[in-house]
């Protein structure tokens, strides 16, 4: 389940967009807000206590900040695709390797804290679905060839399970697991807070978005 569900979430999102061709992203944005709140809350409830219990608090803080900075660096290349923003012009005959690498590294890192013993998998899934839908809309509406789009999505779908697999099999990740998890926490912090606190149209904080955020935090608390 740890390996299969993230793959299915991305592929199903792509198929949904290909078949349904959604015109509006309003409801997707609300799902994105829910996922941001859910991911942030589970990070506080599960991952933070775990790393602070096992590792020196100052070391944890340094690696969390490193994770935030790493995500800022990745977004320089992905242009914010991880939280639903796509500002890239793709060429028909050129695979978007820079976009792919930046998104894949993000997905790989987010898979590392996922285990059978925590609820982070659910947070990753809820985060992945709206992002995959928005990414699929972008790819299918771009000049990129459909074959490239399919290859992009398939490879991207395997990155998070690959991170989970490496966390179990890699001696390096196991030895420095708390530090790498702290980096993942920083990545989650940046992604979720950008989703939650970016301004709505006219710089107003939509009531529906607020309710969705409260729901996300509540569900995470009750797990």
Alpha-carbon separation of residue 76 from 37, 61, 106, 129, 133 (angstroms): 23, 23, 13, 22, 21
Among 145-159, 178-192, 201-215, whose mean pLDDT is lowest? Answer: 201-215
Identify which of 108, 105, 98, 107 has the alpha carbon closest to the alpha carbon of residue 78.
98
CA distance 184 to 182: 5
Instruction: Tell me the pLDDT tens digit for each residue of 211-223.
Output: 999 999 999 999 8
Among 38-52, 91-105, 170-184, 188-202, whose mean pLDDT is lowest? Answer: 188-202
CA distance 155 to 159: 7
Give residue 87's Cα distance to chain centre. 17
Is residue 200's pLDDT more than 60? no
**pTM beyond 0.95, yes or no:** no
* Domain extent listing, the chain: 4-16+28-222
Residue 21, sorted as left (phi over 0), alpha (psi -120 to 50) or beta, turns out to be left
Instruction: Tell me the pLDDT tens digit for each residue of 87-97.
Output: 666 776 778 88
């Amino acid at each position: 389940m740890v390996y299969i569900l993230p793959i299915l979430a991305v592929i199903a999102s792509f198929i949904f967009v290909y078949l349904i061709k959604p015109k509006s992203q309003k409801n997707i944005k609300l799902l994105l807000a829910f996922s941001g709140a859910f991911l942030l809350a589970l990070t506080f409830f599960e991952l933070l206590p775990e790393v602070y219990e096992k590792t020196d608090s100052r070391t944890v803080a340094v690696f969390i900040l490193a994770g935030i900075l790493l995500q800022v660096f990745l977004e320089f290349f992905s242009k914010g695709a991880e939280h639903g923003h796509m500002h890239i012009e793709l060429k028909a005959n050129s695979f978007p390797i820079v976009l792919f690498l930046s998104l894949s590294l993000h997905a790989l890192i987010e898979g590392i804290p996922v285990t059978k013993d925590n609820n982070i998998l659910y947070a990753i899934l809820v985060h992945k679905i709206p992002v995959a839908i928005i990414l699929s809309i972008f790819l299918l509406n771009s000049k990129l060839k459909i074959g490239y789009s399919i290859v992009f999505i398939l490879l991207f779908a395997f990155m998070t399970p690959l991170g989970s697999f490496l966390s179990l099999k890699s001696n390096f990740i196991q030895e420095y697991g708390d530090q790498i998890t702290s980096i993942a926490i920083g990545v989650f912090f940046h992604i979720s807070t950008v989703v939650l606190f970016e301004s709505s149209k006219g710089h107003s904080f939509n009531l529906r978005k607020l309710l969705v955020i409260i729901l996300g935090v509540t569900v995470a608390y009750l797990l």
